[in-house]
């Protein structure tokens, strides 16, 4: 394991949502996916702060999309994962998979 | 929001979601959603910026209780949750919201009344805080009207105040057929300038239209312009008839300005000295001794009330030295010009304060009741709260949720309270006691910004005060009992809390009930006050002969003929003329000081102060007032004959203690009178007053055109009035006949504060008693339920039903009796403040207190008896098996 900081649970969820949404990784969509798929209702403030933190850690970048009339001419940001983010997610998945090994009986699953 | 791409994109995200909300829920809900989120963002963002500056250790980035507490989005979630929770318990919500709506609504309505009468600045004037009321004191007491010459002298010489002069004057507007009786005022030409009243049309009065100029001009009110002239755009320059004399309208006063008495509406202003009958003649203006005008003023730049008072007092003292006979004992009082004149300001303030305290107590009872219900509700959710605590929710977080729920409840109650207040203020606006026309009380309580802010403030204050305790209590459940599912068992602390609430509720209810009983006793006592005359079956018809332009000789003849013809009507026992109505204002005609040979006036005065009325023969018989010696006036007591007077017993005893006053002489304002008779003492100005020296003078010897025809009837007034009107029309064409007033109704105006207070306190007492009964029943039921096994055991061991009932009631009465004792002590302290409002009834009147004790004990007994009866019917076997 490298010395990079391991992202927290919520940060990982946000990263995974960005990965899942691909070209549609806008804040509104990320928040919707968190609520529907992860059953995690996050306040707007918490989500913006998390995205800000992930950007500072070098895990996400964003680009500006053309504003629309619906948005009153205000710009829209689309988020992408950096290579480092992919590394972090891969590492996290591997670690968790190793830790989950052989726990079916404990969970009462066949 | 920072003007960066990030900042603007955040705004854009919110707008995009707003558009979705509009599509899903409509414009209105979307707008509310949007602004709530903006608010949440602003507050949350501010919090985070502040917390980011603090050392890392003192605040974590997420999960810190303080952050949780102030996270606005979760507060919004709590609000939504609270509304849903209320919807799930409709009975609880209904009872709580109704109690709060009544308490908050009544408080708002009474505050709107206090606002209209005392707090709201005088409408239509500028900078009301620099306006003054200048009054005349006599012997250092009171604040009464002034003589014109005194005011004029001070107006010309004062460097601290710009003075204006005015007096009220009933007027008739219009021609012979459609005369409108209105309340008008005669004013100095600078009146509108001093008050800063803007004319919406035309102008006020010019320098050449002042007192003594004889100018025939008028300014009318906005209300009169609409009511009588249909807002005719050509009103300025139009000629109208005032008291039979043409006058040119120079202007229409700004909307909202109706004079300087908030309780009365003025419609016409004319210059002092305008030559119209019924208004001041030049001779009145030239007498130092006539005191009939009000002084108002505006502080000059840099001046204060204190400097103004000092200067005017000095100026007045110099005048008194120059004219000792006419101005003996006179001084100056200076006060801020309020909506109510100084002379009645303190009683009005005390009355409003007493009302606010009464309704405030009612609100407290409602709040205590709701607080008790909130505690019970929070504790019944012990399991839910215990689970949340076990999963990591902090106590502060839980308390916040419970506090949010109670605040939402109070705000909903407050909202309905405002709806209730709207109805209540309309009721107050229609309150119109029978005053002699054209006087009428104009109450205009409205829910303006100040009243709405008050309503919101008391709603939030009561929400905090009465929601905080239950929130703290509910956020600390007994975890062990909660997980075991032990409910509805009541731990000792829960019983103690609810018991305390009952003590408070009962105490407040006792205060309200005792207060109401005291006012009712005062009303009863007022009815026993010896008036000195019999007002029943006596009616008054007001006339103002100047309104038809009669000269004194003609007016005297009209009055004489009117009395003679009306007396002859079937159903009329006797009729007479009187300038003044008994037990009312004004209390006296201005005749100057009284001197009696051989009787020294009080130290520092040149003469005695006496009240005077002008009456015709038959006055005493009409009012049922005894003549103790001598005789009544005669029709031969006219201008040319000897000047005679009748004095009251108080005057006779003071000035002629050794013998009969009849035949004695005194000087009144420079005229010598011979005493014709002595009348019994009576009430003259108010039901509670210092007995004055009272003098009656024949109206035929001193004509006053504004007068009252008094009739004692032996039949229903309605059958006589048309005949009186017909006689009046025939004898005095063009003279408007003003409404008939039953003297009993007029006298009872003096009881109005007591009646109003008794009604308000009585209603509140009943509502408070019902709430207290509900609370006591709830506590008794829970207490009985918690002792089911004990009761079962006792019954199994042989206790009878009576013993069970006694046991349950005995326990249930402890808190109410404690509340009763506390309430009696508080009532004894508070009712001392009622003072003269009680008409001599002692604030510790035993009957009033006995009534309070009886009502509360009865309520407590009934509230506890029902659960006791249920407990006595328990099956002991089932009870012993119960959990």
Q: What is the mean pLDDT of residues B703-714?
A: 84
Chain segment B192-216, per-residue pLDDT in tens: 999 999 999 999 999 888 877 778 8
| DSSP at B596 | B
Measured CA to CA, the distance from residue B845 to residue B521 in angstroms comes to 9
Q: Which residues of B touch A28 (CB under 8 A)?
A: 13, 16-17
Q: What is the mean pLDDT of residues B566-585?
A: 86
Q: How many Cβ pairs within 8 Å bridge chains A and B?
A: 57
Measured CA to CA, the distance from residue B176 to residue B183 in angstroms comes to 18
Q: Which residues of A touch B37 (CB under 8 A)?
A: 44
pLDDT, position A2: 46
Q: Do B44 and A45 touch (CB under 8 A)?
A: yes
The interface predicted TM-score of the complex, written ipTM, equals 0.87
Span of B167-181, B356-370, B389-403 with lowest mean pLDDT: B167-181
Q: Which residue has better confidence, B141 or B692?
A: B692
DSSP string, B616-682: -TTHHHHHT--EEEE----TT--TTS--EEEEEHHHHHHH-TTS--TT-EEEETTEEEEEEEEEPP-
As beta bridge partners, residue B756 has: none
Residues B459 and B390: beta-carbon distance below 8 Å: no
Q: Which residues of A touch B11 (CB under 8 A)?
A: 72, 74
What is the pTM assigned to this prediction? 0.61
Residues B567 and B723: beta-carbon distance below 8 Å: no
Chain segment A28-40, per-residue pLDDT in tens: 999 999 988 877 7
- The residue behind tokens 């207040």 is B421
Measured CA to CA, the distance from residue B615 to residue B634 in angstroms comes to 11
Nearest by CB to B17, from A28, A52, A68: name it.
A28
Q: Which residue has better confidence, B46 or B648?
A: B648
Three-state DSSP class for residue B737: coil
Q: Do A28 and B16 touch (CB under 8 A)?
A: yes
pLDDT, position A51: 94
Confidence of residue B608 (pLDDT cuts 50, 70, 90): confident
Residues B541 and B717: beta-carbon distance below 8 Å: no
Q: Which residues of A touch B10 (CB under 8 A)?
A: 48
Please, which residues have CB within 8 angstroms of residue B543's CB and are 6 or more apart in sequence? B562, B705, B706, B707, B708, B709, B728, B732, B735, B737, B738
Measured CA to CA, the distance from residue B22 to residue B583 in angstroms comes to 67
Identify the top-confidence range among A55-59, B87-91, B522-526: A55-59
The residue of chain A nearest to residue B14, with distances taken between CA atoms, is A71
As beta bridge partners, residue B220 has: B252, B268
Please, which residues have CB within 8 angstroms of residue B26's CB and are 6 or more apart in sequence? none
Chain segment B829-845, per-residue pLDDT in tens: 988 877 767 777 888 99
Chain segment B661-672, per-residue pLDDT in tens: 999 999 998 889
Nearest by CB to A75, from B12, B19, B37: name it.
B12
Measured CA to CA, the distance from residue B405 to residue B474 in angstroms comes to 12
Q: Do A45 and B8 touch (CB under 8 A)?
A: no
- Please state, rounded to an integer, the average pLDDT across all residues of chain B: 82
DSSP string, B767-828: HHHHHHHHHHHHHHHHHHHHTHHHHHHHHHTT--HHHHHHHHHHHHTHHHHHHHHHHHHHHH
The residue of chain B nearest to residue A71, with distances taken between CA atoms, is B12
pLDDT, position B486: 47
Q: Do A43 and B12 touch (CB under 8 A)?
A: no
Chain segment B672-692, per-residue pLDDT in tens: 999 999 999 998 877 767 788
Q: How far apart are the first and last CA of chain B?
A: 59
Q: Which residue has better confidence, B452 or B279?
A: B452
Confidence of residue B57 (pLDDT cuts 50, 70, 90): very low
Cα B647–Cα B614–Cα B289 angle in degrees, nearest 5? 90
């Amino acid at each position: 394991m490298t010395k990079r900081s391991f992202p927290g649970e919520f940060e990982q969820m946000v990263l995974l949502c960005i990965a899942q949404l691909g070209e549609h990784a806008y804040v509104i969509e990320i928040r919707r996916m968190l609520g529907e798929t992860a059953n995690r209702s996050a306040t707007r403030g918490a989500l913006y702060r998390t995205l800000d933190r992930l950007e500072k850690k070098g895990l996400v970048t964003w680009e500006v999309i053309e504003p629309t009339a619906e948005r009153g001419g205000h710009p829209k940001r689309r988020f992408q994962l950096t290579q480092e983010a992919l590394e972090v997610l891969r590492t996290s998945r591997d670690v968790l998979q190793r830790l989950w090994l052989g726990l079916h009986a404990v969970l009462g699953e066949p | 929001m920072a003007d960066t791409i990030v900042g603007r994109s955040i705004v854009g995200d919110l707008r995009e979601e707003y558009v979705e909300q509009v599509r899903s829920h409509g414009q209105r809900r979307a707008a509310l959603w949007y602004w709530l989120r903006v608010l949440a963002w602003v507050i949350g963002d501010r919090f985070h910026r502040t917390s980011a500056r603090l050392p890392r250790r003192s605040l974590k980035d997420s999960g810190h209780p303080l952050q949780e507490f102030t996270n606005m989005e979760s507060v919004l979630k709590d609000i939504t949750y609270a509304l849903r929770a209320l919807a799930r318990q409709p009975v609880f919500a209904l009872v709580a919201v109704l109690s709060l709506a009544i308490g908050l609504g009544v408080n708002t309505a009474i505050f709107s009344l206090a606002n209209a009468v005392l707090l709201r600045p005088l409408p239509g004037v500028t900078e009301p805080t620099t306006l003054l009321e200048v009054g005349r004191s006599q012997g250092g007491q009171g604040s009464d009207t002034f003589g014109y010459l005194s005011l004029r002298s001070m107006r010309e010489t004062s460097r601290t105040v710009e003075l204006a002069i005015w007096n009220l004057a009933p007027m008739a507007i219009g021609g012979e057929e459609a005369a409108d009786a209105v309340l008008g005022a005669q004013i100095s030409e600078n009146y509108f300038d001093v008050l800063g009243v803007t004319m919406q049309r035309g102008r006020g009065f010019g320098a050449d239209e002042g007192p003594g100029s004889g100018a025939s001009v008028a300014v009318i009110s906005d209300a009169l312009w609409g009511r009588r002239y249909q807002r005719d755009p050509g009103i300025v320059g139009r000629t109208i008839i005032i008291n039979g004399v043409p006058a040119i309208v120079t202007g229409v006063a700004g909307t909202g300005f109706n004079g300087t008495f908030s309780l009365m509406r003025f419609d016409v202003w004319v210059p002092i000295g305008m030559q119209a009958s019924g208004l001041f003649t030049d001779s009145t203006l030239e007498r130092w001794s006539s005191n009939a005008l009000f002084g108002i003023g505006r502080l000059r730049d840099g001046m204060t009330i204190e400097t103004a008072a000092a200067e005017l007092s000095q100026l007045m003292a110099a005048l008194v030295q120059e004219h000792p006979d006419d101005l003996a004992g006179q001084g100056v009082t200076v006060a801020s010009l309020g909506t109510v004149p100084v002379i009645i300001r303190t009683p009005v303030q005390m009355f409003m304060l007493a009302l606010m305290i009464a309704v405030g107590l009612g609100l407290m009872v409602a709040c205590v009741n709701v607080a008790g219900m909130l505690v019970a509700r929070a504790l019944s959710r012990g399991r839910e709260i215990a689970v949340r605590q076990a999963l990591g929710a902090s106590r502060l977080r839980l308390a916040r949720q419970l506090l949010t729920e109670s605040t939402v409840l109070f705000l909903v109650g407050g909202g309905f309270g405002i709806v209730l207040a709207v109805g209540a203020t309309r009721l107050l606006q229609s309150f119109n006691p029978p005053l002699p026309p054209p006087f009428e009380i104009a109450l205009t309580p409205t829910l303006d910004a100040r009243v709405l802010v008050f309503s919101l403030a008391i709603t939030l204050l009561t929400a905090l005060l009465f929601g905080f305790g239950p929130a703290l209590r509910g956020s600390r459940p007994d975890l062990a009992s909660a997980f075991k599912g032990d409910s509805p068992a009541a731990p000792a602390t829960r019983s103690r809390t609810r018991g305390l609430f009952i003590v408070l509720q009962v105490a407040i209810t006792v205060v309200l009930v005792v207060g109401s009983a005291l006012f009712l006793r005062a009303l009863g006592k007022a009815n026993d006050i010896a008036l000195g005359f019999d007002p029943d079956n006596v009616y008054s018809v007001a006339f103002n002969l100047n309104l038809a332009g009669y000269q004194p000789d003609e007016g005297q003849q009209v009055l004489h003929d009117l009395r003679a013809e009306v007396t002859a009507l079937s159903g009329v026992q006797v009729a007479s003329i009187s300038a003044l109505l008994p037990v009312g204002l004004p209390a006296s005609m201005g005749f100057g000081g009284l001197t009696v040979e051989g009787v020294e006036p009080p130290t520092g005065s040149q003469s005695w102060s006496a009240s005077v009325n002008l009456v015709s023969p038959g006055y005493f018989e009409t009012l049922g007032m005894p003549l103790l010696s001598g005789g009544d006036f005669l029709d031969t007591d006219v201008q040319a004959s000897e000047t005679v007077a009748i004095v009251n017993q108080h005057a006779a005893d003071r000035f002629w203690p050794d013998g009969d006053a009849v035949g004695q002489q005194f000087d009144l304002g420079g005229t010598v009178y011979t005493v014709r008779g002595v009348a019994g003492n009576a009430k003259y100005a108010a039901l509670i007053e210092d007995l004055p020296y009272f003098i009656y003078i024949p109206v035929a010897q001193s004509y006053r055109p504004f007068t009252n025809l008094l009739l004692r009837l032996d039949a229903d007034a309605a059958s006589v009035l048309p005949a009186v009107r017909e006689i009046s029309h025939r004898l005095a064409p063009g003279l408007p006949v003003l409404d008939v007033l039953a003297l009993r109704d007029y006298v009872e105006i003096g009881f109005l504060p007591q009646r109003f207070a008794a009604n308000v306190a009585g209603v509140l007492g009943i509502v408070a008693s019902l709430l207290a009964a509900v609370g006591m029943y709830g506590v008794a039921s829970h207490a009985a339920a918690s002792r089911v096994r004990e009761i079962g055991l006792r019954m199994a061991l042989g206790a009878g039903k009576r013993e069970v009932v006694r046991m349950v009631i005995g326990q249930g009465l402890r808190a109410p009796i404690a509340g009763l004792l506390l309430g009696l002590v508080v009532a004894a302290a508070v009712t001392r403040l009622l003072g003269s409002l009680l008409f001599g009834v002692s604030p510790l009147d035993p009957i009033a207190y006995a009534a309070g004790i009886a009502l509360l004990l009865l309520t407590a007994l009934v509230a506890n008896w029902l659960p006791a009866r249920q407990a006595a019917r328990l099956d002991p076997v089932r009870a012993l098996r119960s959990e």
